Every structure is written in C-alpha cells, then in structure tokens.
Structure 1
Amino acid sequence: MKFSLEPHVEVKAVLDDIMRQQSFDIDFDNLDTFRANWNQLVLAGIQQPTPYDEQVRATDRLIPADHPGGHIRLRIYSPATITEPVPALYWIHGGGLIIGIPEQDEGFLKSVVATLGCVVVAVDYRLAPEHPYPAALEDCYDGLLWVAAHAKELGIDAARLAIGGNSAGAGLAAATTLLARDKNGPALIHQSLAYPMLDYRSITHSSYEITDLGIWDRDINQRAWNAYLGSLSAAGAGLPYYAAPAVASDLSGLPPAFMAVGSLDLFRDEDIQYAQQLMAAGVSTELYFQAGVPHCFDLAAETNVVKKYLQARIQALGAAFMYN
C-alpha cells in the first residue's frame, strides 16, 4: 500500500515552530541531562492555567513495588466532585521507553476528565536503558492491579476501566492489555492507542521511509528499542510478545480498540497491521488515519486537524464508558 508523503500544511507549520524551541534529537550518551531538561519543560508547562483546572484535581500517590526503587508513582486526575463511582482511564505516557513523565500529557488528560466525568490514573514507570524490559511493563501492570484493587477508594467503577497511551505508552498499553488477558487480570473495556510503538524489528515500509523528519525517525527508534530490550535484542523469534505486541500471533479476547496514526509516522504500517490483526481476531477496532501528519502530531493541539482527532478519540472512550 502506497501513501502520500505530502505534509499537512497547518500541522507542519505548528510542529516546525515547536521543534525550533525543543529539540527531539535525543542524546543517548547524555540521557540524564536530556531527561532533566525535558522534565523541566514539562513541569513548567503544567503551571500554565487550563480551562479545566476548576473541574479537575491532580494528586500523586506512591504505591508499593517489588523492585529496588520500592514504589511506583501514580498521578491521579479526578473530577472535583465524585458522588458515585465513575469510569476510569489508566494512562501510560510516551517517550520511546527512555524518557517521559505522566505530566507531559496533563492538558489532554484533564480534558478527558472534564469532558467524560471519569478518573484518569497515569503511571510513572521505570525507563530504559537503566531498567530494560520487563521493568516498564511490570510497573504498568502492577499499577493497573493496584487501581483495580483500590477502585472504591478512588471513586472508580471497576467494571468500567479502560487503558490508553501515546507512542511508547500506547505500545506498553497494548502489552499490558495482553498481560491482563493472559493472567486473568483486570477486565479492561477499551484500548485507546495513539501511534503505538509495537515492533522492534523495523521491517515495515514506513520504518524505512521515515528517516529524517526530526521527531521520531528510524535511527532513534532502533536505538530506543535496543535500549529497552537490552540483551533480548538478539532474541529474534524468541522475543516475548509482551515486549513487542506486533509479534503476538493471537489477539483474540482483547477489549475493543481505538487506534490512531498518521501517514508520515514511521509506525504507520505496523499500526495499521496491528489494527487489521485485531479486526481479524474479532476485536472491534476503530482505526483513525490522518493524512499528512507525523509522529506526535497532536502536539499541534490548536489546529483543526488535531481538534477533530482528539474529539474522535474522546468520543470513542466515552462510548466505551457509556455502553459498559
């Protein structure tokens, strides 16, 4: 299948401006410095007021974890008032498995809470290469188990629990969903996956095609996967599908999915293939495809293209909450 690589003019102009202010060229030799600068920008950004601040409260919770760090941080976004149990979205942030914190999605997550009247719980998981697979997945799954077990305390209806994320977070959400299915864990009702990072092999056409856009290209993607997989990088066919959901052969029994990707995203083909595999397995799947946009296109939040996409994504999540 051939796709046009013509960029969407409106989105390109905004992303070009963002990239002039913030480099996405991750220095793997100085990850600590890059992370510190990234986190500083994120935390400065959330000090800016949003239209949802009076409707949503954000709190941090440390939960016990069976690893040397001793805990996992959850950032919980709740309606200012909860009078009865509400549905919840368990959220996993992106960052290529090597950078990122939950706060980087705060604007979107607050809008979800305000629009749908739900709770959002975002997990702060361990990052590679210091903590290779399965550390991040273990943290994500343990956080999900804790949320399900403490649903009443959080004001959550445990029967209406969805999962979602962007990029690497969406890939981890897909993996966590597979793990929950296989372990008879929390019964998730919906997967909300934006441009998920699913396939370590870099064998699709788009993974060779997208090499120099400057947001998330082939080289940095391969280096990030190698950082995450560590010694498993050479495992080949023996790699667990929890590490890279694209290699899973059985996607049956998974919850309905909303997936989004753009034509200029190197994950384009692996995401379309995963959506098709979900459909073939009998999983109700909505694939939102946007021509002319790259990875992380929703950074251009004020464009009509992104507003339309976010509306579709929130509507899909709202429908899952309503009819379950």
Structure 2
Amino acid sequence: MTAQRSDEEQIGNLPRPPFDRDLQTVLHALAGQLPSTITAEMITPMRQAMAGGPTARSALTDAGLDVHDVEIASYDGEHIMLSVVQRAGRTCSGPCFYAIHGGGMIFGDRWSGVAGLVDWIVRYDAVAVTVEYRLAPEHPDPTPVEDAYAGLVWTASHAAELGIDPDRLIVAGASAGGGIAAGVGLLARDRRGPVIAGQLLQYPMLDDRDETLSTRQIDGVGVWDRGSNRTGWTALLGERRGTGAVSIYAAPARATDLSGLPPTYIDCGSAEVFRDEDIAYANAIWAAGGQAELHVWPGGFHGFDAFAPTTQLARDMVATRDHWLQRLVG
C-alpha cells in the first residue's frame, strides 16, 4: 500500500502563478548566486557579503547630496544611528521620506536600498532619513520596530531644523522594512505619536503565522521563499513565532483594527510569499474605512524591482509608486 503523502509533500505540488517570462530569465541567472531558502547558518556570511555602506554613501555624495549621521537613544537607552540625506545647500522646507530598510529582519543596514530614494529626494527637494535598526536574532522583537519608531519620533521633533514640512512626513519600507513601517504606523497611531502623511509599504513582511496560500505556493522557488520567511520570523520572535504571544507591532497582519492609519500604498508580486498577507492588509484598511492603494504585479517574485530593474514589469511597478507619491505630496 502506498503511504499517504505528508502535508509538506502535498504543499510542494500546489499550483502557483507562473513567473513573468523576463523575470524567469533573471531567476535562472540568480540561481547560482542566491539560495532559494535562507537558513539560520547563512545569516552571518550573507551579512558580510551584503555589506556596502561606504559604496552607497559615496554614490549619494556623487549625486550632489549631503549626508550626515545622527546618533540617538532608542527605547531601551541604547544608541542607534540615523543618516539624513538631502540636496547639498538646500534651505527650503519639503517632504521627508523616513526609510526603513529590508532584509528579512536579519540582514541589511541603513544604506540598503537608499539609492532608490535619490530620484525622490531630488524631484521633491526632500529630506530622507534612514534608520539603523538593530537586527534579529541578536536583537529580537520588539527592538527592530521600537528602534524604527524612536527614529521617527526624533525626525518629527527635529522637522524644523531639518527643513521638513511636518504635513508631508512619509514612512517607507520594503520587505521586512515594509512590515516594520506598518508596525511603526500602528505605534504612531496608538501612542498618539508623529502624524504620518502616508505609508509606502513595498511587498511588506506582515504575518509570522505561515498560514496563507501564497506562502505554501512559494516554497523552494523564487526569492525569499517559505523557508527563508520562517528563518526571518524565528530570528525575530523565537518560540513565540506563530503563537498568540506576538504583538501587532511585530506582525501587523495580526491587527484586528486598522482604522486611523494614514493613506497607504501596498505592492507585491503575484508569485511571492507575501502576496496574500499584503492583499489582506489592504482589505483590512478598507474594511476600517481607510484609504489604501494595492497593486499585485502578475508573475512578480519578491523584490523583482531590485533584482531586475530593467524589465518592463519592474519599470511599471516603480512608475506606479511614483504616481501615488506625486498625488500624495504634490
């Protein structure tokens, strides 16, 4: 008699949306460089391989931007670093992009993805503030989201001296940074903290429970699959992952009341782990009477705009974010 297949084996046979044809080509090229599943043992070597702070900082200054660092105290009295980026010689007041980097809660630094802000900084004569939140597993929840919130409070309280229009403070984050940005938005609401004009959540990491269809579909394929997601959430939450002992600020998908949030932009790919939790988050904002814009890009894997920026799908994704931002900050 044939033994009944395990749940995991059945999961492996689930149909899933196909990858966009151009993105599939990129995935083939990445196959030898990036593991499909990131395990705990890979965290340290991948951090070392991804370090690029000096290069990123030089790219900003080469673009005519001024960069200066500020050290602030976080919620626990420990100090974290912020970097303030703006056009050299700028004197006017403009919008602020408070940027929270991605990296699955376990990788990255405040320079990760900051090059993507250059166009907005120049176009809107804006200020960008990036936060060096401490990473899991060395610094588990609530440290990452509390660090990010502390940086937001500092930014808002220094708006005048930084040349920030307090009515145009936008919180932005990608992947884990998008999840932390959503947590920061909930903290600001519940603590009556800084007023946020909008939150830009790029394929945000929102749900630790590993229960959605999309997480079961993207298992062993693409970029940041189900196993990688478990690694990231376990680093952040330890044995609490998937239990009732997880706060809405660590995993915003757990929030049952999403009223009182700023206008929100959410995007993701149709072929990524975060698809269903991102759709559900937008739907919960609408259910609470809030304003959200959602885009699910057909055939997109996680972070495809960063890995394959010249593809048509990536260009469309970036342009659509730009349109939302233009409507928001004018």
TM over 0.5: yes
Secondary structure, aligned partner of 1:46 = helix
Secondary structure, aligned partner of 1:59 = strand
Identity over aligned residues, as a percent? 38
Q: Which residue of 1 aligns with 2:234?
A: 226
Counterparts in 2 of 1:228 and 1:81: CA distance versus 1, 3 Å: same
- AA aligned to 1:94 is G
Q: How does 1:1-324 map to 2 (within 5 A)?
A: 5-23=17-35, 25-39=37-51, 42-43=52-53, 46=56, 53-67=62-76, 70-233=78-241, 236-299=243-306, 300-322=308-330
Structure 1 range deviating more: 122-131 or 108-117: 108-117
Counterparts in 2 of 1:56 and 1:304: CA distance versus 1, 3 Å: farther
Q: TM-score, normalised by structure 2?
A: 0.89
Secondary structure, aligned partner of 2:184 = helix
1:319 is displaced (CA, Å) by 1.9
8 Å contact 1:141–1:176 — kept in the other structure?
Answer: yes
Gapped runs of 5+ residues in structure 2? 1-13
- Mapped to 2, the partners of 1:288 and 1:163 lie a distance apart of 18
Counterparts in 2 of 1:75 and 1:107: CA distance versus 1, 3 Å: same
Q: Deviations over 1:236-268 (max 9, x none)?
A: 234211111101000001001110011111110
Deviating above 4 A after TM superposition, structure 1's stretches of 4 or more consecutive aligned residues are 22-25, 47-50
Q: TM-score, normalised by structure 1?
A: 0.90
Superposed CA RMSD in Å reads 2.2
Secondary structure, aligned partner of 1:266 = coil
Structure 1 range deviating more: 156-165 or 138-147: 156-165
Q: Choose 1 or 2 for highest CA Rg.
A: 2
- AA aligned to 1:247 is R
Structure 1 range deviating more: 74-83 or 203-212: 74-83
1:307 is displaced (CA, Å) by 1.5
Counterparts in 2 of 1:83 and 1:24: CA distance versus 1, 3 Å: farther
Counterparts in 2 of 1:20 and 1:49: CA distance versus 1, 3 Å: farther
Q: Deviations over 1:261-280 (max 9, x none)?
A: 11111110111011111111
- Mapped to 2, the partners of 1:83 and 1:231 lie a distance apart of 49
- AA aligned to 2:44 is D
Counterparts in 2 of 1:29 and 1:145: CA distance versus 1, 3 Å: same
Gapped runs of 5+ residues in structure 1? none
8 Å contact 1:3–1:263 — kept in the other structure?
Answer: no
- AA aligned to 1:32 is T
- Equivalences, count: 316
